[in-house]
Amino acid sequence: MGKGRLEAFSDGVIAIIITIMVLELRAPHGTDWAELAGLLPIFLSYVLSFVYLGIYWNNHHHMLHAVRSVTGVVLWANLHLLFWLSLIPFATAWMDENHFSSKPVALYGVVLLMCAVAYSLLAAALVRHEGEGSTLATAFGRSRKGRLSMLGYAAGIGAAFVAPAVSLALYVLVAAAWFVPDRRVERLVG
């Protein structure tokens, strides 16, 4: 089974999720800079969620690039990932509405954690299909970053009940960890 439609469908869903979030950024009724500044937290959480979805799209792109074909199990593992990604706008909105209080910040971490779990399940399904000696399997030997990310999210969920700011810092840190080395690896390879 070809992988073209899986990629196209995933592109479509991620494109919609990433754009839906901007609908939360409702234009304020007044024209003061103060009103715009009031949107800053919402804007920053939009940036964070945008970056996370960008990371997932990039990684999805790289991972499927190394794959030749897909199976029914892979199709469902992919839909499972898209399901959790689709909850990011909801978790972002709840966090925004409540000024980053404990429970919404914890829930945001739960959704990020589930996305990471779903992504590693997709990777596992692909590795099983492609075989242990495949390029894909080799590339995913370095999935230590994946496990550390999950640890980061879990720590963030716990921290949310004490200091939500720490959780947010952890979420930003994990995003940075995916964003930065990606470029370093590329430079080494390219």
Of the pair 84, 151, the CB lying nearest its own copies is at 84
Contact between 31 and its own copies per CB under 8 A: yes
Report, in Å, the least distance between residue 7 CB and its own copies.
6
Asked if 132 and 114 touch (Cβ cutoff 8 Å), the reply is: no
Binder of its own copies out of 37, 38, 98, 161 (CB under 8 A): 98
* Residue 173, φ and ψ in degrees, nearest 5: -60, -45
Asked if 153 and 112 touch (Cβ cutoff 8 Å), the reply is: yes
In b/e form, how buried is each residue of 9-39, taking b as 16+ CB within 10 angstroms?
A: ebeebbeebbeebeebeeeeeeeeeeeeeeb
Where in 40-79 is the site for its own copies (CB under 8 A)?
47, 50, 54, 57-58, 61-62, 65, 71-73, 75-76, 79
Distance CA 90, CA 182 (A): 28
- List residues near its own copies by CB under 8 A: 1-2, 5-9, 11-20, 22-23, 25-33, 36, 47, 50, 54, 57-58, 61-62, 65, 71-73, 75-76, 79, 82-83, 86-87, 89-90, 93-94, 96-98, 101-104, 107, 129, 179, 182-183, 185-186, 190
